[in-house]
Amino acid sequence: MRADKRRIQTAVLGEAGSEEPLMLPMEAIELDAFRHAHERDTFWCGTLLGGCGGQLTTKLYTDRACHFAHHPDPDGLPHVCGRAARGVNSADHLYVKSAAAAWLADQGEQATFTYTRPDGAPFGCVVDVHWQHGALRVHLDQTVAPVWDNAVEPVLGTTVPVDRDTLVRRWYVHRIRLDSEGTARHVRIGTEAFARPTEWFALDECDMTERGLSTPAVARIIRSRSTPPPARPAARTDRKLPDAQTRTQVLFRRIEEARAVGSVVMVARMSHALATMDGVAHETRTQINTVLQDAKLWLQEQTAARQEMFTQLSKAVAEGNVQEARGLLTRVNAIAAHDRTDTETQTAGAAADFLAGMLGQQEETAQKLHAAAEAKEEARRKAARQKTDALQQVRTTLRTLRRHSRTMLGTEQRRRVAMLTDLAAEAGDQLSRSEVNQIEAWRARMQRERKPAAPEERAQPGGSRR
């Protein structure tokens, strides 16, 4: 039973084109209440969920999870649907659209939504939200790398990575998650900052400002970055500022912390602060020079690693290695998205074009395979229908022979028995043992009736043999 709990399914409510998501409860007692609440509604396999658009029904079970199921095909065979993802999160892009539309409407904004597919990305991994005074791009997974510093603000799913340099430079980024509550999914917005845990808020606690999407955490982060420290009490005005030695040790520690988390920006910034430090003793200056030399070597190593990453990306594209190129491009977009050279920009662009082209080829191949599978399935259905039709004709013919053989002409009997032979071959294993025996009996009877009589049985009428 526990394993089945992962099979929560989603469908769309109303007509197939409305695409309003709905989640089916798992337990039988909950499904009874669900059916009562939606007794006048219809459920559909939504095309925006990757489904076939066919109508669904609900299946109630007491020994496993309840789920949606397609209505059977007109021929009685199981329905074939190409939808691969059926879990609770497969409709998250629809829940995001629904929640965002309601939230913006409360603020007097009318939004448009696009399920964008950059470079042929899977449907539903990115949701673009546009309205008169702003725009958001919601990344529900890490398939598409976020683009920073443009008019569209990224909002990242919980699995989308963000490098520490970006957190330091931007002060914060927003995240999104969807929590299941009953038969619905509720959107929560999180704010993540460098060296701070992500804080989560309900959508109605958020707002749109000149800076973009804002949460209660954003105001605190901005105040901590822009507000000067409070004035010192008068009784402590004689307290001395930290001396150069103390400030130097603080900078040493910050450089080590920045190196530990891989922050190139912070190491460079702290190194500059150390290099311009005044009023330090000769021994301290020697320590500073040593730390600066180590930091310089570390930065050079990071630069070399970055160059090597772009080199490997270019090589993967040249060799046509799709998996390697996809992984490297994701890393490049995640940790080397800032201050790119023209060569790096060209390399990343070429990799994106290569992957888009390969994805197009893969989609074309997948379409051909799907078409071949559909043709094979149609042939199987046709054969099954022919067997069923042949079986019905066999039964009808046997019934006719049993009821009317006494009054039926011999030629008509022979014709029907010959037809039985052909139909039996077509029906194959659909025939029961009794039906096979009846067909054999009629064939044997026809053979006996067609066999010529023996000479002694041909006595002439009215005479005798001598």
Distance CA(314)–CA(344), nearest Å, equals: 10
Task: Return the pLDDT at 177.
Answer: 92
Residue 378: how many CB atoms within 10 A of its CB?
A: 11
Place of tokens 């008509």: 412
CB 185 within 8 A of CB 179: yes
- Packing angle, helices 282-318 and 322-335, rounded to 10: 150
| Closest to 100 measured CA to CA, from 186, 212, 14 | 186
Strand duo 153-157 + 134-139: pairing = parallel
* pLDDT value for 155: 94
pLDDT means per 10 residues, the chain with 466 residues, are 36 47 58 71 62 68 60 58 56 82 84 81 84 87 85 89 84 90 81 86 86 86 62 45 75 83 78 85 86 90 87 91 85 69 87 83 79 86 87 88 84 87 86 88 84 54 47
Predicted confidence at residue 18, as pLDDT, reads 46
Tokens matching residue 211: 């800076």
Token pair of 22, please?
A: 């709905």
Contact predicate 16/43, CB 8 Å: no
- Enter the DSSP assignment of 320: T
- Tokens 């570390």 correspond to 298
Query: Partners of 325 in the beta sheet?
Result: none
pLDDT the model gives residue 233: 47
Q: Where are the beta strands (DSSP E) in 77-171?
A: 112-114, 126-131, 134-139, 153-157
Q: For residue 384, what pLDDT is reported?
A: 87
* Assigned token pair, 215: 């949460």
27 in Cβ contact with 66 (< 8 Å): yes
Tokens at 305, concatenated: 């690693």
